[in-house]
Structure 1
Amino acid sequence: MGVTIIGVRHHSPACARHVGAVIAAIRPRHVLIEGPADFNDRIDELLLGHRPPIAIFTGYRDGTRMHSSWSPLCDYSPEWVALQEGARVGAQLRFIDLPAWHPALADRQNRYADADQRYERATGRLQTAFGAASVDALWDRVFEVADPSGIGERLAAWFEMLRGGAAADESDAAREAHMASWVRAARHDGDDVVVVTGGFHAPALERLIGTDDGRSGWPQVPSLPEGAQAASYLVPFSFRRLDAFSGYQSGMPSPGYYQRLWAEGPRAAGDGLMADVAARLRARHQPTSTADLISARVMAEGLARLRGNAVPARTDILDGLASALVTEALDVPLPWGRRGTIQAATDPVIVEMVAALSGDATGRLAEATPLPPLWHDVDAQIARCALSTGKHRMSLLSPSGVDRSRVLHRLRVLSISGFHRLAGPWTGSEEVLDETWRVDDDDMRQSSVIEASGFGATLHDAAMAALTQRAADVGTDPVAVASSVLLDAALCGLSELTGSLVDNLRAGIGRENDLASLGVCLSAMLTLWRHDRVLGSAGGEGLGAAIRACVPRIMWLVEGLRAIPGRDPGDEPPDRDTVGALVSARDAVLSGPAGIDRAAVLAVCRRTWHDHTAGARLRGAALGLCWCLGDAPADAGRLVRGSARPAAVGDWLFGLFALARDEAIDEPAVMRAVDEVVTAMGPEEFLVSLPGLREAFSVFPPAERQSLAGVVLGLHGHAAAGASSLVRRQGAAPELIAEAAAVEARAEALLAGAGLLDESGPVDRGGDDG
C-alpha cells in the first residue's frame, strides 16, 4: 500500500504509455489526476465514448471579470490514459486541482500551461550537453524515441532537475497544497494510490505528502464567490488548437505527428510524416519528386545517427525534409528550433510542412454528453429561422427578415462558427435595406456554442452579456463604443442595452481630441440613426443628442488645425481620415437629427478655406463642405488656380472632391482651371503633383472619370469619344510613365544645351572618329 506520483509532460505519448503501464501493474484503489476538482461529480461524462481531442471548458463571470479556461485531452494525453485505464481496473477516479475559475488560475486560459520559463536555464544546460536544438528535440531524444525501459526513473530525475530548489509562486503553491490534500485523503482511505500530475508539481507533491496534517475525509472544493457564475462542459477540440505552432501554451507541438507516434510507434510515425508532407505539398502544386523524398529520408537517417537517436525523431525528419525541399535562403530560422507561433516570412514550403505535422483531426462528443442550455436554444433558433447551410438573403423591411437578421447577428457577436455576413448596412453613408449571409456546416460550431454558454443560457441573454462585457472593456472611448458595441447592439435587437451605451458615448465625445476618431464615431452613429426604421432600436433622443454633440466637437478640432505657427502652408497635417471626419459632419447636417447648428459649421469652414496657413487638403475639404451645404464659391476656378503649387494641388482637390464631388463635377470652371494648372506645369512639377492628383480623382467612380476625360479632350479641341482610352489602365504605373517622360525631357535639354538637338531631333555630327 502506497502512493505513486507520476510526473508527466502533458500530451506526451511516452508519458501516456508509462501511466497506462503503471496503473495496469498496480491496479490502485484511487487514481488522482491533475484536473478541475469541481468536475468530480461529473467525471463519468469523460467515459462516455468520445472521440478525442476534447476539452473540459469552464466559463466564469462575476461583476468585475469574465474568464474562460480549457483543459484539453487527446488520445496520448497522460491524463486521458489515466482516466481510461483507471476505469478499466476499477479505480476511483478524481481530479485534484483547483477549479479553473479559481484566482490561482486566473491568468491561464489553459490549465496545462506550466511555465517553461521557470526552468529555461536547466533545459538550456541539457540542450548544450546533448547538442539538441530545442527542448522539444531534447525531450524526443530522451523519451519519445528512446528505449522505454527505465522511463520512470528518467522522468523523476528530469523533473527533479527542472524543479530543483526553486520555490513555487503564490498560485502554484496554492494549487500544490490543494492537490497534496487530496493525495493525503486518498492515502488515509487505504490501498494503493496513483497520482498523475504535471512534472513541475511532482517533486513538490512528494515533499508535501510526507507530513500528515491530521485531517480525514476528502477536501472541500472551493466555493464560488458570492454573485459569481461558473459552468463547465465538455467541448470538442482540434489538433489545430492543440498545436504549439498555433500558440497553444503547453504540451507537445505537431499533434498529428505525435498521434501517429502514439498509435504506430516512432519508426512508422516518421514514415507517415514523410508521406503526409509529400501529399500536402503535391496537393498545393509544390514540386516534390521521389528523388527529393529519398534524399530527405537519407538525410534524416544520418542526422538521427549523428544526434544519437535510435530512430529518426521529429526534428530529424523535418531537418531532412527542409534540406531536400527548400532551395532558397531562409529569411527566418526554422520554426521547430523554438517554441511559439510561425513567424512572418517563413518559407511557404516550411509552413506546409508544419501544417502537415499538425494534422486536421477534430474531436467529437458522445451523443449522451450533457450540453448547456445555450446549445439547445441556439439549435431551436436556427431551426425556427430556417438557417440551413448555404446563402440567405433577407429584407430588413420585413418583420421576418429583421427577426432572422437579429438571430444571425447574435450568433456573430458570440463568435459562433459557421455564420458569415457577406453584405448589409455597415456605414452611415449607405442606404442598404437587405443583408446576405452564408451559413456553413462547421465542425467547431458545437464547441463555439458551448464556449459561448458562459455568457448566458439563451441566445438573447448571451449576446447581451457579451456586448455588455465588451462595453466595459472599451469604457468611454467613443470610437470603440460607437463602432464596436452600439451598432452591434442595434443589429442584435438589444434595445435595452443602447440607452446606457449612448450615455457612455456622450461622455466620451466631450473628451475625445482625435479628429479622425470622432469621424469614425459619428459615421457609426449616423448608421443607427438612418437605419432606425429598420433596426428599431437606436434612433431615440439620446442618440440624437450624441450626434448633435459630436458635430461641434469635430468643428472645434478643425478650427484647431488652422494657423499652426511656423508651418509651411504646403505642409499637410491632416490625413485622409481627417477629411472623413468632415464627410461625417456633412452627412450629419444634411440627414442627421434636427438641431445641428448649420450656421456654426459653415462659419468654421469659411474661416478654414480662407486661411492660407491651413493645410491644402483641409482647406479643400472645408470649401467642399461649404459648397455642398449651399454656400457655393463665387469663382471656383480662381480658387483652383490659387492652389497651383504642385505639391499641394492634388491634396486640395482631394479635399474638395471628397466633400463636394457632385457640385465640383457640375461646375465647368473647375475642370477648366484644373486643366490650365496641369498644362502649365513642367515635367518635374507634374511628377511632383501626380500622386496627389491620382488620389484626388480616385474619388470619382470609373464612369465619372471617363466623363471628366471627355471634358478635358473637349478643352483641347478633341472629340470626347476618345475618353475611354485615357482612363484605361496602362501597362505600367502612371508615376513610372511620368518619371520616364521627365528623364527624357532632361536628356533632351542636355542635348540641346550641347548643340546636339534641333527641331527634327538629335544631330549626327559624324566625324572621322565616329
Structure 2
Amino acid sequence: MTVTYLGVRHHSPACARLVARTVERLRPAYVLVEGPSDLDGRLDELLLGHELPVAVFSHYRDDERAATSWTPLCAYSPEWVALTAGRAAGAEVRLIDLPAWHPAFAGRANRYADAELRYAEATARLRHRFAVDSTDALWDRMIEADPDAPDLPERLDAYFDAVRGDTEADDSDRARETYMAAWIRAARTAAGDRPVLVVTGGFHRPALRRLAESGPGGPAEWPAVPAPPDTALSGSFLVPYSFRQLDSFAGYESGMPSPAYHQWLWEEGPEAAGRRLVRTVADRLRDRGHPVSTASLVAARASAAALAALRGHPVPGRLDLLDALAGALVTEALDEPLPWTRRGPLTPGAHPAVVEMVAACSGDRVGRLHPDTPAPPLVHDVAARLTALGLDGTAPVTLRLTDPAGLDRSRVLHRLRVLGIPGYARTAGPADGTDPVTEERWEPRPAAGRDAALVEAGAYGARLDDAALVALGDRAGAAADDCAALAEVLFDTVVCGAGDLAGPLVTRLRAGLAAATGPGPLGTALATALGLWRHDRVYGVARDPLLAAAVDTAVTRVLWLVEGTAPGGTTGPDRARLRALVAVRDALLHAGPVLAVPRDVATDVFRRVAADPAAPPDLRGAAHGLVHVLARTPQSGAAEAVRAAAAPAVLGDWLAGLFAVAREEVAAETADGEPGPLVAVLDDLVGAMSDTDFLVALPALREAFAWFPPTERERIAARLIARRGLRGSARALLRTPADPLALARARALEDHVSRTLDDLGLGAAR
C-alpha cells in the first residue's frame, strides 16, 4: 500500500487540477481531506448539487466561550475536487480534521486560515529570490502560471518544505496534525494494497507525513470524532458564500485573490481567462463612463505578452494582464503601489481604473444552496413566526405600538434587526427612550445574504426570542463600561421585549455610569434611561426602579465631573457635554423624587461653575442657564450675565452653553409680545463690535444660534429687524446667497485696505 500526500493551497486552481489528475491516476481506496470530521456522516448533504461557492458554518457556545467559523468551498477548491472526484472514482472519502468547534480552532474565524503569518520570513526569502512583490505574485509565478507542468508536484513539495522549514507547530496545529495523522494510519491499514490519497493544506503536509509514518501500525481503528459537551450549543450548517468573501483583496487571509479570474482559469484555461479578464475590465470601465480605446486594449495585450515572456510564463497570467492594463489605462502617477503587489483590501482613494480591475477579477457570484439542504431550527422558527404574524409579505407594514398585536409584531422585527438579518428596514419609529412616537413603519426588502445570515444567527439559539436575548447579552458584554453603547443595548433590549435581560443590563449600566470619566457618554445613557423611565408605557418599563437608580447614578456622576472640569480655552463648545447637561436638567425637573441630589444642591453646583473664571466658556454659560431654569431667575439676570461674557473670543461659546439648556426661557418674548431683554442686549453688543471683533465672534455665534430651530431663528430675526426700525423679510435675511462668514471676512479685508491706503495718504474721498 502507498500513501500519497498532496499539500495544496486552499482555493488554488492549479492544485485542484493536480488533485483531479492524481485521483484519476491512483484510483485510491481512500481519499482523506482536511475538513471537519463531524461532517463525515453528512457528505451526501454537502454534495447535494449546490451552486458554489458555499461554506460550512460551524458554531459553538457554552458558559465559557463562544466561537464561529466558516469552511468555504468553491469549484476550484482542491478539497472540493478531492471530495467530488474521489466519490466519482469509487473511493471512500473522509474528512479528517478536528471539528470546527474544537478548542484547537479558538480565535480562528476561518478553518483555512493556516499559519501564513508564521512563515512570512520564509516567503520573504522566496520573494527576493524570484524578484516578486507579494506572496500571491510568488505563487502565481511558481504554480499558477503553468498548472499542467509535469513537475508541479515537486514544485509544491519544495515550496511547502521551504515554507514550513523547521517551524515548530503551535498547540493548535499540533493537536490537529496528531488527529489527522491517526486517520492516515487507519486508512493505510484498511486500504491493504490499494493507494491512499491525503489532501491537506501544504503547511501540514511535512508534519503529517512524519507523524503518520512514524506512528504505530496495527488494525484499522478510525479515530473517534470528538463530541461537544451536552451543555453546549453547537452545530454545523451549509450557508451560501460569495466570491467577495473569498477574495484576499477583501481581507480573507487564506483566500486566493481574484476569485472570478480563477473561476475562468478553472473552467476555460489561461488564454480564455486572460481574454475574458481584459474584456470584463473594459466593459466595467465603459459602463461607468471611463473611456477605454481599442488602441489602449491592443497596447495592453501586447504589453501582457511581453511581460509573460520576460517572466517565463507560457501565456500571460493574472499579474501580467493586470500590470499591462494598469500601464495602458492609468496615465497619471499613483499615490500608492498597485494593490496586487501586496495582500489586503483596497485603500481609500484608489484610482478608478484600478478599482474596476480588482472588481472585475473579484466578481459578484453568490452561491445558492440546494432546496433540500437542512437548515438550523432558528430558520424554521423565524419563518413560522413571520407567517403567523402576517409579516412574510413584501408590502410595507405600519405598526401601532399601543396595540398588543402591533407590539408583538414590532418585537419580532426588532429581534431580527438585532440579529443582523438583512431585509427588514425600519423607516420610522422611536429612536430612543426620549422619543414619544407610538407608530413604526417597516419595509421588507429583498436582501442578498439574508438566508446565510439566518443560518449564522442560529449560533445564538434555536428560537428567535432566545437568539435575540443571547445576541443582546453578547453586545452588552462587549460594551463593558462604555455607557453610550450600554444605553443602545438597553433601548434595543426594551424594544425587543427581552425582559429577562433588562434587569442585569441596567445593573451593568449603573456600574458603567459610576465609573465614567467623561460627561458625553453619560449624557447619552442618562437621556435613554430617563426617557424610558418617564415615558415608556408602550414597552412597560415606565417608573421602573432599576431605571430610576440608573438615572440617579448618572446625574450624580455628571455633577461631580462638571464641577471638576479642568480649565479650558476657546476651542469651541463641547456639544456632547452640553447634551449631558440637558439630560441632567430634565432629570432634575422631572425625576427629582428619585434623585439623591436635591435640586437646590445641584443649583449651588451650577452657581459655582458659572462663577468660575477658569471653567470653559460653554460650561459657564450652560451652568448659568441651569441656575436660571432651576431657580427660576428673571430674564434680566441672563442679560446681565451676557454683558459679563461679552469678550468676542468667548461670547459665542458662552451663549452655546446657555442656549443648549435654557433656550426657551432666556429668549422668550415678554408678556406684551416684545423681544426679551437678552435679544436686545445681544443686538447692542454685536452692533458695538468692531469689524475685527465681529469676525472673531461670528463663527461661535453661528454655532450658538444653531441650538434654535429654524422657526425660532426666523422669529428672532424678525424682532431684530423691527427693533432697528427696518422693513424686510426675516426668512430672506437667514438665507443669504453667500456664507455670512465669507461676507464678514470680505468686509474686514475691505476696511483693512481702506485704512492702509489712508495711512499712506492714498485714500479716496468716501
| Bucket of the pairwise TM-score, normalised by the shorter protein | over 0.9
Residue in 2 that maps onto 1:726: 733
* Residues 1:752 and 2:758 are matched in the alignment: yes
Q: In 1, distance between residues paired with 2:218 and 2:558?
A: 68
- Taking only the aligned residue pairs, the percentage that are identical comes to 50
Which one of the candidate residues 690, 715, 721 is aligned to 1:713? Answer: 721
Residue in 2 that maps onto 1:763: none
Which one of the candidate residues 234, 237, 241 is aligned to 1:230? Answer: 234
Which one of the candidate residues 440, 446, 450 is aligned to 1:445? Answer: 450
Cα deviation digits, residues 99-144 of structure 1 (max 9, x gap)? 1111211021000011222222332222223222222122122222
Tell me, yes or no, if the aligned pair for 1:34 and 1:197 is still in contact at 8 Å.
Answer: yes
Shift of 1:687: 1.7
Q: In 2, distance between residues paired with 1:298 and 1:687?
A: 62
Shift of 1:417: 2.1
Q: In 2, distance between residues paired with 1:427 and 1:446?
A: 29
SS for the counterpart of 1:757 is coil
Tell me, yes or no, if the aligned pair for 2:434 and 2:528 is still in contact at 8 Å.
Answer: no
Residue in 2 that maps onto 1:741: 747
539 and 352 in structure 1: CA distance in 2 versus 1, 3 angstrom threshold:
farther
Q: In 2, distance between residues paired with 1:536 and 1:476?
A: 26
TM-score, length basis structure 2 = 0.95
Tell me, yes or no, if the aligned pair for 1:36 and 1:100 is still in contact at 8 Å.
Answer: yes
Residue in 2 that maps onto 1:766: none
Shift of 1:751: 0.8
* Residues 1:657 and 2:651 are matched in the alignment: no
Amino acid at match of 1:688: V
Tell me, yes or no, if the aligned pair for 2:10 and 2:255 is still in contact at 8 Å.
Answer: yes
Residue in 2 that maps onto 1:765: none
Residue in 1 that maps onto 2:69: 69
Cα deviation digits, residues 388-410 of structure 1 (max 9, x gap)? 23533322222222112111111
Residue in 2 that maps onto 1:617: 618
* Residues 1:304 and 2:311 are matched in the alignment: no
Runs of 4+ that moved beyond 6 A: none
Which one is further off, 177-186 or 84-93?
A: 84-93
Residue in 1 that maps onto 2:199: 196
Alignment map for 1:402-551 (pairs within 5 Å)? 402-483=407-488, 485-537=489-541, 539-551=543-555
438 and 352 in structure 1: CA distance in 2 versus 1, 3 angstrom threshold:
farther
Q: In 2, distance between residues paired with 1:391 and 1:590?
A: 40
Which one of the candidate residues 638, 645, 659 is aligned to 1:636? Answer: 638
Residue in 2 that maps onto 1:583: 582
Shift of 1:225: 4.1
SS for the counterpart of 2:25 is helix
Residue in 1 that maps onto 2:176: 175
Which one of the candidate residues 399, 406, 416 is aligned to 1:394? Answer: 399
Residue in 1 that maps onto 2:102: 102
Amino acid at match of 2:652: G
SS for the counterpart of 1:365 is coil
SS for the counterpart of 2:427 is strand
Cα deviation digits, residues 233-256 of structure 1 (max 9, x gap)? 111111111111111120301111
Amino acid at match of 1:707: R
Amino acid at match of 1:503: T
Shift of 1:514: 1.5
Tell me, yes or no, if the aligned pair for 2:572 and 2:653 is still in contact at 8 Å.
Answer: no
Tell me, yes or no, if the aligned pair for 2:189 and 2:217 is still in contact at 8 Å.
Answer: no
Residue in 2 that maps onto 1:681: 689
Shift of 1:43: 2.1
Shift of 1:520: 1.2
* Residues 1:369 and 2:369 are matched in the alignment: no
* Residues 1:601 and 2:602 are matched in the alignment: yes
SS for the counterpart of 1:115 is coil
Cα deviation digits, residues 600-632 of structure 1 (max 9, x gap)? 322222222233332210111122223334523
SS for the counterpart of 2:169 is coil
Cα deviation digits, residues 673-721 of structure 1 (max 9, x gap)? 11122122222212211211111111122222222222222232211x3
Tell me, yes or no, if the aligned pair for 1:616 and 1:652 is still in contact at 8 Å.
Answer: yes
* Residues 1:277 and 2:276 are matched in the alignment: no
Alignment map for 1:17-166 (pairs within 5 Å)? 17-146=17-146, 148=148, 149-166=150-167
Residue in 2 that maps onto 1:185: 186
SS for the counterpart of 2:594 is coil
* Residues 1:331 and 2:331 are matched in the alignment: no
SS for the counterpart of 1:15 is helix
Shift of 1:591: 3.7
Q: Give ranges in structure 1 of 5+ residues lacking alignment.
A: 761-770
Amino acid at match of 1:200: F
Q: In 1, distance between residues paired with 2:534 and 2:278?
A: 58
Tell me, yes or no, if the aligned pair for 1:6 and 1:197 is still in contact at 8 Å.
Answer: yes
Q: In 1, distance between residues paired with 2:299 and 2:712?
A: 60
281 and 394 in structure 1: CA distance in 2 versus 1, 3 angstrom threshold:
farther
Amino acid at match of 2:21: A
Amino acid at match of 1:741: R
Shift of 1:538: 6.2
Q: In 2, distance between residues paired with 1:285 and 1:384?
A: 48
652 and 84 in structure 1: CA distance in 2 versus 1, 3 angstrom threshold:
same
Tell me, yes or no, if the aligned pair for 2:432 and 2:491 is still in contact at 8 Å.
Answer: no
Alignment map for 1:5-16 (pairs within 5 Å)? 5-16=5-16
Q: In 1, distance between residues paired with 2:592 and 2:211?
A: 69
Amino acid at match of 2:443: R
Amino acid at match of 1:197: T
SS for the counterpart of 2:443 is strand
Q: In 2, distance between residues paired with 1:735 and 1:305?
A: 62
Q: In 1, distance between residues paired with 2:124 and 2:586?
A: 62
Q: In 2, distance between residues paired with 1:424 and 1:506?
A: 27
286 and 432 in structure 1: CA distance in 2 versus 1, 3 angstrom threshold:
farther
Q: In 2, distance between residues paired with 1:728 and 1:629?
A: 35
Q: In 1, distance between residues paired with 2:91 and 2:41?
A: 15
527 and 350 in structure 1: CA distance in 2 versus 1, 3 angstrom threshold:
farther
Q: In 2, distance between residues paired with 1:45 and 1:465?
A: 29
SS for the counterpart of 1:209 is helix
468 and 284 in structure 1: CA distance in 2 versus 1, 3 angstrom threshold:
same
Tell me, yes or no, if the aligned pair for 1:498 and 1:538 is still in contact at 8 Å.
Answer: no
SS for the counterpart of 1:370 is coil
TM-score, length basis structure 1 = 0.94
SS for the counterpart of 2:426 is strand
CA RMSD of aligned residues (A): 1.9
Which one is further off, 406-415 or 595-604?
A: 595-604
Task: Work out the number of aligned pairs and report it.
Answer: 752
Tell me, yes or no, if the aligned pair for 2:626 and 2:661 is still in contact at 8 Å.
Answer: yes
Tell me, yes or no, if the aligned pair for 1:33 and 1:82 is still in contact at 8 Å.
Answer: yes
Cα deviation digits, residues 336-374 of structure 1 (max 9, x gap)? 110111112222332222122111111111111111100
Q: In 1, distance between residues paired with 2:429 and 2:273?
A: 49
Shift of 1:490: 0.6
Q: In 2, distance between residues paired with 1:281 and 1:401?
A: 48
384 and 363 in structure 1: CA distance in 2 versus 1, 3 angstrom threshold:
same
612 and 521 in structure 1: CA distance in 2 versus 1, 3 angstrom threshold:
same
Cα deviation digits, residues 126-172 of structure 1 (max 9, x gap)? 22232222221221222223151221121112111211122212211
Shift of 1:756: 1.6
Residue in 1 that maps onto 2:383: 379
574 and 559 in structure 1: CA distance in 2 versus 1, 3 angstrom threshold:
farther
Amino acid at match of 2:156: L
Cα deviation digits, residues 484-543 of structure 1 (max 9, x gap)? x21111111111110111122222222222111211110121242244211224642111
SS for the counterpart of 1:544 is helix
Residue in 1 that maps onto 2:701: 693
Q: Give ranges in structure 2 of 5+ residues lacking alignment.
A: 670-675
630 and 421 in structure 1: CA distance in 2 versus 1, 3 angstrom threshold:
farther
SS for the counterpart of 1:196 is strand
Q: In 2, distance between residues paired with 1:508 and 1:619?
A: 27
Shift of 1:421: 2.5
Cα deviation digits, residues 535-590 of structure 1 (max 9, x gap)? 224642111121122212211211112xx5xx57x546972111111011122233
Q: In 2, distance between residues paired with 1:453 and 1:533?
A: 32
